[in-house]
C-alpha cells in the first residue's frame, strides 16, 4: 500500500504540472498540447504504474473524421489510448471532471466535450460543437456506456454517440480494451502491475443505417454485439 501511495503521489503531482503546461500551450495550439503533453502524460503514468501496453490494429485509426468507441472499464483506459495516438483527438467526458483542479481547466481549454453523467445530451450546445469538430476532421473518443463500468460485461449503450455518428455520417471504429480494470480493482487503492490489451477493429460503415430513431437503435444494437463478441473471445 505504501508503494501505491507513492505512485499516486507521483501521478497526482505529474498531472498537476502537465495540466498547467497543457493549459499554457493550448492557448496557442491545443493540437500541440494533445500530441506532446497529453501523450507524455499517458506514457509516464503507465510507466510509473508498471503497466505494459499491447495495441493491435492501430492502423485502423486514420487521420480523418472518426468516432472511436471503447468499453470504459477504468480511468487507465484514457492513459492507455492517450499514450499512442498519432493524430489530434478529443474525448467525450462527464461534466463532473471539470471540477478536478488543474485537470478540469486543462481539458476544457484543450477543447474536449462534456455531457451529463448519464450520457444524455441535455446540453445541445455541446452536441453542436461535437458535430462541427467531427466534420472538421477530428477523432472523437466516446464510451457508449456513458460512464466507467467496474462490473463484468457491458452496461446499456447510450444513444448519444450513435446519434452523432448518424447525423455526421462518420463511421465508427470499435476499440476493445482488456485488462485495465485489473490495474486498480474495484474499491481498491492499490496499483497493480499488469498489461492492458487494446484491439482496434476496422471501421464500421454506418451509411446503410437509416438516420431516424429506428436506424440509430439498430446501429447501437449491432455495435454492442461486436463488443460483446470481442470481449468474450
Share of the chain above pLDDT 90, in %: 68
- Whether the predicted pLDDT of 124 surpasses 80: no
Distance CA 145, CA 161 (A): 10
Going from N- to C-terminal start, the domains of the chain cover 2-232
Q: Are 199 and 57 in contact (CB under 8 A)?
A: yes
Distance CA 35, CA 83 (A): 9
Q: Are 107 and 86 in contact (CB under 8 A)?
A: no
Q: What is the largest CA-CA distance in the chain?
A: 55
**Which fold is adopted by the domain 2-232?**
Glycerol-3-phosphate (1)-acyltransferase (3.40.1130)
146-186 pLDDT per residue, tens: 888 888 889 999 988 999 999 899 999 999 999 999 999 87
Q: Which residue has the higher pLDDT, 48 or 124?
A: 48
- Whether the predicted pLDDT of 13 surpasses 80: yes
Report the run of H or E that residue 68 belongs to, with start and end: strand 66-70
- pLDDT band for position 118 (50/70/90)? low
Instruction: Please tell me the pTM assigned to this model.
Output: 0.91
Alpha-carbon torsion, ordered 39, 180, 104, 6, to 10 deg: -90
Amino acid at each position: 500500500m505504501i508503494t501505491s501511495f507513492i505512485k499516486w503521489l507521483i501521478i497526482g503531482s505529474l498531472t498537476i504540472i502537465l495540466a498547467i503546461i497543457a493549459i499554457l500551450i493550448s492557448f496557442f495550439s491545443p493540437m500541440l498540447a494533445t500530441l506532446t503533453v497529453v501523450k507524455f502524460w499517458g506514457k509516464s503514468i503507465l510507466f510509473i504504474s508498471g503497466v505494459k501496453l499491447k495495441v493491435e490494429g492501430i492502423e485502423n485509426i486514420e487521420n480523418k473524421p472518426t468516432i472511436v468507441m471503447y468499453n470504459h472499464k477504468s480511468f487507465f483506459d484514457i492513459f492507455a489510448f492517450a499514450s499512442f495516438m498519432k493524430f489530434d483527438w478529443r474525448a467525450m467526458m462527464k461534466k463532473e471532471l471539470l471540477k478536478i483542479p488543474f485537470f478540469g481547466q486543462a481539458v476544457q481549454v484543450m477543447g474536449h466535450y462534456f455531457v451529463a453523467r448519464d450520457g444524455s445530451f441535455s446540453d445541445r450546445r455541446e452536441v453542436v460543437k461535437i458535430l462541427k469538430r467531427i466534420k472538421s476532421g477530428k477523432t472523437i473518443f466516446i464510451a457508449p456506456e456513458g460512464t466507467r463500468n467496474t462490473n463484468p460485461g457491458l452496461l446499456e449503450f447510450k444513444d448519444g454517440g450513435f446519434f452523432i455518428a448518424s447525423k455526421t455520417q462518420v463511421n465508427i471504429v470499435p476499440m476493445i480494451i482488456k485488462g485495465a480494470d485489473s490495474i486498480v480493482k474495484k474499491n481498491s487503492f492499490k496499483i497493480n502491475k499488469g498489461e492492458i490489451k487494446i484491439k482496434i477493429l476496422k471501421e464500421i460503415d454506418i451509411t446503410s443505417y437509416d438516420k431516424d430513431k429506428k436506424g440509430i437503435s439498430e446501429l447501437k444494437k449491432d455495435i454492442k454485439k461486436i463488443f460483446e463478441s470481442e470481449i468474450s473471445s
